[in-house]
Chain A
Amino acid sequence: NAGVTQTPKFQVLKTGQSMTLQCAQDMNHNSMYWYRQDPGMGLRLIYYSASEGTTDKGEVPNGYNVSRLNKREFSLRLESAAPSQTSVYFCASSEPDSRYTFGSGTRLTVV
Chain B
Amino acid sequence: QQQVKQSPQSLIVQKGGISIINCAYENTAFDYFPWYQQFPGKGPALLIAIRPDVSEKKEGRFTISFNKSAKQFSLHIMDSQPGDSATYFCAASMLGTYKYIFGTGTRLKVLA
Residues of A within 8 A of B (CB): 4, 31, 33, 35, 40-45, 48, 50, 58, 90, 92, 94, 96-97, 99-100, 102-105
28 A-B residue pairs with CB within 8 Å: A31-B98, A35-B102, A41-B104, A42-B6, A42-B102, A42-B103, A42-B104, A42-B105, A43-B44, A43-B102, A44-B102, A48-B98, A48-B99, A50-B98, A90-B43, A90-B44, A96-B96, A96-B97, A97-B95, A99-B46, A99-B49, A103-B43, A104-B41, A104-B42, A104-B43, A105-B41, A105-B42, A105-B43
Closest chain-A Cβ to B5's Cβ sits at a distance in Å of 10
Task: Name the residue of chain B whose CB is nearest to the CB of A9.
Answer: B41
Residue with the greatest number of chain A CB neighbours at <10 A, chosen from B36, B98, B100: B98
Give 18 new A-B contacts, CB below 8 A, not counting A35-B102, A99-B34, A100-B44. A40-B9, A41-B104, A42-B6, A42-B103, A43-B102, A43-B105, A45-B99, A48-B99, A58-B99, A90-B43, A90-B44, A96-B98, A97-B32, A97-B95, A97-B96, A100-B46, A100-B100, A105-B41
